[in-house]
Copies of this chain bind each other. A is one copy, B any other.
Amino acid sequence: MTAKARGATLGDVAKLAGVSIATASKALNGRAQVRDSTREKVFRAASALDFVPNALARGLLFGQSGTVGLLTSDLEGRFSLPIMMGAEDAFGAGSTSVFLCDARGDPIREQHQLKALLSRQVDGLIVVGARPDPREPLSGDASVPVVYAYSPSTDPQDCSVTSDNVESGRLAAEHLVAIGRGRIGIITGDPSYGAAHDRVEGALEALARAGVTPVAEPLFGSWSEGWGRGAARALLDQHPDVDGVICGSDQIARGAVDALREEGRSIPGDVAVVGHDNWEILSTGSRPPLTTIDMNLQELGRRAANLLFDAIGGNPSHGVEKLPCRLVVRGSTLSTV
């Protein structure tokens, strides 16, 4: 009903400029075969009318919409957010817009959203999982390029980007060794997460290479402060001489730091603690602030966007790409910081 109110069309511009639609189109798109004076007339008319070209019509014409879908399984999670930012960032620079969809972790909903996205003619899809563990690929051939971010696809033919959880564990361990710690404990989260095991694996590997044996078996539990506190106390109980703790997340590290301090240990003097994820709100509020591993999730989002862009352009990638992470040193391991 109010369809016409939306905005000026190319026809309106052409009429105002006193030229044909075709000429107006050429002028605005920088085609060469237009006299300068004509081009200027057209531009003036366009700006007078606040003309905004209709991307729908353009898309219809080219079969490309200049949009991509961002299908997340879990908007709540703190992990999908930076990834979205990175993707939005990478695309925003160009002229692609991002459709946001949250499937709430429900496969049926996901299927529904997928259809909606496809009907909007998205040129490609980024699928962001809720956990770092691999996930089933999108069911029903998507007919547009897909990049899986955070949760890689279980199909190795698909294109996936994820962060390197083995390396992150390694970084944490190497840092503790580098500052002279040799009696190291490991506390991590929910054992059903592959990332928990990967991080432990990386840590153990690095410790072994440095000739350090952990004071105890890694402690698995949950991703919570409460578990971090309890596990830290248990660790202290059985190994009072522990001088370094690697934690599977900043929540755990936060709990561990609190418990250790309450047990009279100075941090990092007596015990140094490293977390994971660089969750600012937890790591900077802690006493002392937490040294942690930043998983570079925003970069992950950017990378996913670029891979998708390439795939849309005809250069698809395959397999899982693991992005490096980064040690962030704060007070919980270095008192001078």
Contact = CB atoms under 8 A, between A and B. Distances in A.
Nearest to A63: B3
Given A57-B60, A115-B52, A255-B285, A88 B75 contact: yes
B53 A7 contact: no
A267 to B, nearest CB: 15
A105 to B, nearest CB: 13
Interface stretch (A26-34, A35-43, A117-125, A150-158): A117-125
A81 interface: yes
Contacts of A62: 3
Interface stretch (A11-19, A93-101, A159-167, A172-180): A93-101
A4 interface: yes
A76 B85 contact: yes
A56 interface: yes
A3 B52 CA distance: 24
Contact of A81 (B75, B89, B116, B254): B75
A95 B115 CA distance: 11
Interface string A49-73: 0101111110110111101001000
Given A113-B92, A120-B67, A285 B224 contact: yes
- The number of times this chain is found in the oligomer is 2
A5 interface: yes
A188 interface: no
Nearest to A69: B97
A164 to B, nearest CB: 24
Interface string A171-211: 00000000000000000000000000000000000000000
A195 B113 CA distance: 36
A95 B101 CA distance: 12
A91 to B, nearest CB: 10
A78 B279 CA distance: 12
Contact of A119 (B52, B225, B282): B52
A98 B97 contact: no
A73 to B, nearest CB: 13
Contact of A98 (B4, B84, B100, B224): B100
A254 B285 contact: yes
B6 A55 contact: no
A143 interface: yes
Nearest to A286: B225
A102 B97 contact: no
Given A76-B85, A100-B70, A116-B97, A5 B60 contact: no
Interface string A242-276: 00000000010011000000000000000000000
A285 B251 contact: yes
A89 to B, nearest CB: 8
For the complex of A and B, the 9 pairs showing the least CB-CB separation, nearest first, are A3-B63, A225-B285, A100-B100, A55-B119, A55-B120, A52-B119, A75-B85, A56-B56, A52-B118
